[in-house]
Structure 1
């Protein structure tokens, strides 16, 4: 038996590259996005009553290479530093028999403009262009289970102590986000505070500088101890491969 599903819409988020996406939803509250509904589903009545719920579940497809890479019965989650293996069904790894994911995010209401109808959400961990299969309300009395155990992910991940911005990077933020609509400085700070580097990077202590893509920008940063130094923020030279990014 097999099933065929079609997306109801696609995510437009600041994450235009997998590197830098937080490992769980809600960790970067400055990450605002839109779920753009396809014309068939772009109907306000389909969302009647949702205004009473603060959060929603998003069911989505891990796209790009996840669709063709197949799956493995064991994975090495970043939470364990990429060194220890666990079963794929004990993880939230994208390489699954069916590459379907779920995220609980804050919902900020519907927006209709020249692009069509969209649901605005906050705290996303989703790549720009992600296909969305369904949206369901988050119900605290049923979805929040007191006393639940969380296995190897029991404690919050450690975070960097500080994020520092160079004069040049602050100018880059002012140029790229003059009205503050993108919440760009806050977004960069929250993403870097989560330390987006892969868990195995401690094997390469000599590497100190990294690049990060958000929206249509390249953010270059360096790590010294527990401080992330943002060096420059510049437009990407070639944005032709990026999907249309809808600002929050």
Structure 2
């Protein structure tokens, strides 16, 4: 795993870019969140952040159960390392809903302004994935593709840079959400789940799902199903 040294501090490339993403979100918040909302937004972000960490770790452990059961002597390694984004996303949503419910806050008004932070942070995190050699793409013979090694295979090979493609998709989503201000969470979930579903076909890390689809693809389908039900309910409610 590549490392970046900042004076006496040594960070993994993923941690470095994750910190860059967090800093970018801080700048976004200072410029785009109204002053009257900043205190409540900070509290909501704390709950969302805790939910994200717990959800990302739990889903990682869940999808890693076959490997953990096969290598019980390394269970500490699996428990202490690795996260799954979709678990973090769902955990953040649950944490946000819990905060708004417990403290009687307007969930739509509180979360809508913060949603663009999700693709902004994730874009930087995916760049970190690229330099760390995780979440990598499938091998390919196309010319011009980057050649690099991954943590599961130290030999350098041409691979589809799905991490950078997803980072680009996330930056575009972030820009789109600057202009689309209606129900941003709904829009983000629709576009991200579609993009993620397609990108999963280009992933090169070992099978991470059930049957022919990965765990993330099944979650994407679940998101589509849930959002479709919500759309139908709102449609009948407004008739």
**Range of TM-score over shorter length:** under 0.3
Q: TM-score by structure 1 length?
A: 0.27
Q: TM-score by structure 2 length?
A: 0.28
Q: Which has the higher helix share?
A: 2
Q: Which has the higher strand share?
A: 1
